[in-house]
Amino acid sequence: MAADMSLLPRAEDLDDLLERDRDDVLSVALATDPTTPENQAVRPAYLIWLENALRDLLRDLPSPRRRVARPLAQRVTAYVRTWKPAARGLALFAAPDLWRVYPVQVPLSNRVRFGLPDVTALLEALDACPPYAILAVDTRHARLAVGYLGNASLLAEETLDLHTEHWRQTAGRRPTAARRMGEGAGRGTQRDPFEARRRAHVQAFWEHVAAETARLLAERGLGALVVGGPEEAAAAVARALPPQARRALVGTVPLPRYEGLAELLQRTVQAAVEAERRRDRELVAGVLEAQGTRAVLGWPAVDEALRQRQAHLVVVEPSRLAHHPELPRLVRRAGARLELVHPDAAAPLAACGGIAAVLKSPSTSAG
């Protein structure tokens, strides 16, 4: 499904929310998948859940905070009542001078919170569907798209125009009948100059596509690439990628010609997700290996490392964010990075509460 990427949450948007020093934000995440029967009713399930959750939230707030939260809850409810669901998830952030709406094509967990901005649901979605580049290429066409949060958006498109009607069919001495028939395959056998010229143009096209793909990957900060197309084309472009872009290549998949963006996403997303899961497993293994020297395990140790600004990277299993909703804010303010890892990859961290931190090197901490 093609989408306007400007409507989707970016990492910078979440950072901006986390940086806001305020506790008057109503954060809402809803599972709005329009294909589920319960969301096709006149009063869809997500609206019923929202109304009940907001009623309970307002009831439990102290009176001064309830006066701030009530008009925000009314605005959110009015918006959701008239919203025509075309996305599987909806996130909203509302405050007296703040209003942000993010529809996403991945399921979100139902959540409501008033206070500090709660970006947990969006962080989980970003981990489940990390952004990646999709390159679909054949002998005449190439398209580069971004897959992100269940959407695909076209970045660039190239077409090879050969204009072969202006080419001479042969060059030099005409081949003998034996050569035309493919006989006498010794030294005298030569490829048809017309075909050789066509192949040279196609190879140059693939090399150009590889160079442009590398440029756009660097420009957009995309760290994963899936190449698809007929086997020969996909393999040729993969070989022609510059070293840094080749390191971003996580898979090649067979693709029919002229697939739409939705089909490209559907055929390539599994390769991207599997690559992310491999990365999660490697990350957790590295953390465990560094335990006792450059890594600490468990919430008390991680919390202390963050408050002392000693943490470089915090690794957490997504469900643990519900127990520590302040974690993204703490990580951001400590100058560290937060990495959510898939529950399967995080299994070795279960004994320490599914959370760990890699510490800064002594020279970095001293600086």
Of 134-138, 195-199, 335-339, the poorest mean pLDDT is in 195-199
- Residue range 10-119, CATH number: 3.30.960
pLDDT digits (tens, 9 = 90+) for 271-288: 888 888 899 999 999 999
Q: What is the pLDDT of residue 125?
A: 80
Q: What is the pLDDT of residue 173?
A: 44
Split at pLDDT 50, 70, 90, the class of 93 is very high
Given a cut of 60, whether residue 351 has pLDDT beyond it is yes
The amino acid occupying position 178 is A
The single residue listed with the structure tokens 């997700």 is 273
Split at pLDDT 50, 70, 90, the class of 5 is very low
Quote the Cα angle for 318-252-107, to 5°: 30
Q: What is the pLDDT of residue 7?
A: 52
The whole-number average pLDDT for the span 139-144 is 90
The whole-number average pLDDT for the span 325-346 is 89
Given a cut of 90, whether residue 260 has pLDDT beyond it is no
Question: What superfamily would CATH give domain 132-281?
Answer: eRF1 domain 2 (3.30.420.60)
Split at pLDDT 50, 70, 90, the class of 9 is low
In percent, the amount of the chain with pLDDT more than 70 equals 87
Strand partners, 157: 143
Packed helices 120-128 and 11-19: angle between N→C axes, nearest 10 degrees: 160
Of 11-15, 63-67, 116-120, the poorest mean pLDDT is in 11-15
Q: What is the pLDDT of residue 190?
A: 47
Given a cut of 50, whether residue 38 has pLDDT beyond it is yes
Split at pLDDT 50, 70, 90, the class of 308 is very high
Q: What is the pLDDT of residue 90?
A: 92
Q: What is the pLDDT of residue 3?
A: 43
pLDDT digits (tens, 9 = 90+) for 143-186: 988 887 777 778 888 888 766 555 555 444 444 433 333 444 44
Split at pLDDT 50, 70, 90, the class of 192 is confident
Of 162-166, 203-207, 217-221, 262-266, the poorest mean pLDDT is in 162-166
Given a cut of 70, whether residue 189 has pLDDT beyond it is no
The amino acid occupying position 202 is V
Domain boundaries, the chain: 10-119, 132-281, 290-366
Token pair in block for residue 337 = 């990075």
Q: What is the pLDDT of residue 6?
A: 44
Arithmetic mean of pLDDT over the chain: 84
In percent, the amount of the chain with pLDDT more than 90 equals 46
Strand partners, 356: 297, 315
Q: Which residues contact 315 (CB under 8 A, 6 or more apart)?
A: 283, 284, 287, 339, 341, 346, 349, 355, 356, 357, 358
- Residue range 290-366, CATH number: 3.30.1330.30
